[in-house]
Amino acid sequence: MPLSIENQNKLDAFWAHCVKNQYFNIGYPESADFDYGSLERFMRFSLNNCGDWGEYCNYLLNSFEFEKDVIKHFAQLYRIPFSQCWGYVTNGGTEGNMFGCYLARELFPDGTLFYSRDTHYSVAKIVRLLRIKSQVVDALPNGEIDYQDLMRKIEASGDRHPILFANLGTTVKGAVDDIGRMQRLMSQAGFAREDYYIHGDAALSGMILPFVDQPQPHNFADGIDSISVSGHKMIGSPIPCGIALARKKLVDQISVEIDYIAAHDKTITGSRNGHTPLLLWYAIHAADFEEQKKRIGHCLAMAQYAVDRFQACGIDAWRNKNSITVVFPCPSEDVWKKHCLATSGQYAHLITTAHHLDSSRIDALIDDVVADLAEEAA
Ligand SMILES: *Cc1c(COP(=O)(O)O)cnc(C)c1O
């Protein structure tokens, strides 16, 4: 049955809205410079990746082969032999965080999860869902975890199997917790490495750090046990998605056999999106390492450009090392609403995602913020 004229108009109006606002985004980390046109023909299929891409599945319309390729790619990117890891394409960073926390809790059922005040809101939700004991740790002014407060709280808790939730790029300030330093402090406090767990939340920066010349520690070789990355942020995707990756031996302990699909299940949901592995597969094969590096280099240069322009106008803007998130004092409500900025307390930020090819959007925002803060100060 064709749509009524009214409904057709409604759809057309929404299309126009999307076209007009396609590149609106400067306050959130979603890149909009993607083109998945060659995958549009797959929209007619009910793809479903329930279960594990590594096993036979009775449901034939799956994209397991592509998902396996994606996981192989990310295993290499995050420096773990493919044979020693397992991971899957998630619905986004939150699900990957939940997967990591779930593995940690199964390994250390009585462990307390320590996370900083600047951690993404998904984690407070996850510790409640999974009923993990947790403690919030202070954050340093730049957004990194307060290492001394972390160690104080771990020691005061008496916990022998702490779960460390590390931000590899915080949401508001783009700060990367120093997992090298965390491991040194843990060792000084008498913990062997196998006595505690480190999950890395790399929602945005997970797709930045492997491509810069001097990255902060962030991968499996640097000591993480699991990692979560968003696919719809730095990479860019029309459907939210992400990648969860963990040491294989940790995943084996949560695997259950499901007769209904004749396979093992290790994932959080049942049915899983079969289109998003295709999207990620396409993205990683459409641009090689050098092209990605160039694209990310452009974003980082734009971020520095914004910092310099703000500072030239006397505004205290800054960014963390290897971050495309530029932090500045929160302007008045009409300015942050006009530019759809995310604000947090006294701060706002802009994120120089890859669709900002030139500085026009950034300049327009900076002009408004500068005028607004000058007015406020007057
Ligand atoms: C965005 C973000 C998340 C959540 O990711 P989703 O893909 O939105 O679920 C988690 N952690 C950090 C640091 C984030 O910035």
Domain residues for the domain of 359 are: 5-30+290-377
Per-residue H/E/C for the chain: CCCCHHHHHHHHHHHHHHHHHCCCCCCCCCCCCCCCHHHHHHHHCCCECCCCCCCCCCCCCCCHHHHHHHHHHHHHHCCCCHHHEEEEEECCHHHHHHHHHHHHHHHCCCCEEEEECCCCCHHHHHHHHCCCEEEEECECCCCCECHHHHHHHHHHHCCCCCEEEEEECCCCCCCECCHHHHHHHHHHCCCCHHHCEEEEECCCHHHCHHHCCCCCCCCCCCCCCEEEEECCCCCCCCCCCEEEEEEHHHHHCCCEEEHHHCEEECCCCCCCECHHHHHHHHHHHHCCHHHHHHHHHHHHHHHHHHHHHHHHCCCCCECCCCCCEEEEECCCHHHHHHCCCEEECCEEEEECCCCCCCCHHHHHHHHHHHHHHHHHHC
pLDDT classification of 265: cutoffs 50, 70, 90: confident
What spacing in Å lies between the alpha carbon of 12 and ligand 1's midpoint? Answer: 31
What spacing in Å lies between the alpha carbon of 15 and ligand 1's midpoint? Answer: 27
Q: What is the pLDDT of residue 88?
A: 97
Ligand 1 atom nearest 204 alpha carbon:
15
**Is residue 378 over pLDDT 90?**
no
203 Cβ inside 6 Å of ligand 1: yes
Q: What is the pLDDT of residue 173?
A: 97
Residues 189 and 218 in one domain: yes
**Is residue 263 over pLDDT 80?**
no
Which DSSP helix (H) or strand (E) runs through 276? Answer: helix 275-286
Residues 273 and 304 in one domain: no
Q: Cβ distance 34 to 283 under 8 Å?
A: yes
pLDDT classification of 259: cutoffs 50, 70, 90: low
pLDDT classification of 341: cutoffs 50, 70, 90: very high
Structural domain tally of the chain?
2
What spacing in Å lies between the alpha carbon of 247 and ligand 1's midpoint? Answer: 21
Which residues, other chains included, contact 300 with Cβ-Cβ below 8 Å and sequence gap of 6+? 208, 212, 322, 324, 352
Ligand 1 atom nearest 232 alpha carbon:
7
174 Cβ inside 6 Å of ligand 1: no
What spacing in Å lies between the alpha carbon of 46 and ligand 1's midpoint? Answer: 27
Q: What is the pLDDT of residue 57?
A: 84
What spacing in Å lies between the alpha carbon of 373 and ligand 1's midpoint? Answer: 29
Mean pLDDT of the 138-166 span: 98
What spacing in Å lies between the alpha carbon of 79 and ligand 1's midpoint? Answer: 22
Q: What is the pLDDT of residue 200?
A: 98
Q: Cβ distance 238 to 90 under 8 Å?
A: no
92 Cβ inside 6 Å of ligand 1: yes
Residues 229 and 322 in one domain: no
Residues 53 and 179 in one domain: yes
Average pLDDT of the chain is 95
122 Cβ inside 6 Å of ligand 1: yes
Q: Is 73 among the annotated ligand-binding positions? A: no
230 Cβ inside 6 Å of ligand 1: yes
201 Cβ inside 6 Å of ligand 1: yes
- Does residue 323 carry a catalytic annotation? yes
Residue after which a domain boundary falls, among 255, 286, 317: 286
- Active-site annotation holder among 228, 230, 323, 332: 323
Half-sphere CA count of 103, side-chain side, radius 13 A:
32
204 Cβ inside 6 Å of ligand 1: yes
pLDDT classification of 362: cutoffs 50, 70, 90: very high
Residues 367 and 303 in one domain: yes
pLDDT classification of 342: cutoffs 50, 70, 90: confident
Ligand 1 atom nearest 241 alpha carbon:
7
Q: Strands across the sheet with 197-201, in order? A: 85-90, 242-247, 226-230, 197-201, 163-167, 112-116, 133-137
Mutational pocket test of ligand 1: of 122, 235, 324, the residue with most ligand atoms within 8 Å of the beta carbon: 122
Residue after which a domain boundary falls, among 235, 262, 286: 286
**Is residue 258 over pLDDT 90?**
no
Lowest mean pLDDT among 13-17, 261-265, 271-275, 362-366: 261-265
Residues 215 and 320 in one domain: no
**Is residue 262 over pLDDT 60?**
no
Q: What is the pTM of this model?
A: 0.96
Lowest mean pLDDT among 76-80, 266-270, 274-278, 369-373: 266-270
pLDDT classification of 261: cutoffs 50, 70, 90: low
Mutational pocket test of ligand 1: of 172, 230, 268, 325, the residue with most ligand atoms within 8 Å of the beta carbon: 230
248, burial (CB in 10 Å: exposed 0-12, middle 13-18, buried 19+): middle
Ligand 1 atom nearest 92 alpha carbon:
7
Residues 64 and 23 in one domain: no
Give the domain CATH number at 338: 3.90.1150.10
**Interval 266-287: pLDDT, tens:** 888 989 999 999 999 999 999 9
pLDDT classification of 369: cutoffs 50, 70, 90: very high
242 Cβ inside 6 Å of ligand 1: yes
Give the domain CATH number at 237: 3.40.640.10
Residue after which a domain boundary falls, among 266, 286, 306: 286
Amino acid at 43: M
Angle between helices 179-188 and 147-157 (to 10 degrees): 40
Nearest CA residue ID for atom 15, ligand 1: 171
**Interval 160-218: pLDDT, tens:** 999 999 999 999 999 999 999 999 999 999 999 999 999 999 999 999 999 999 999 99
| Residue 83: DSSP 8-state | G
Half-sphere CA count of 224, side-chain side, radius 13 A:
31
Residues 263 and 131 in one domain: yes
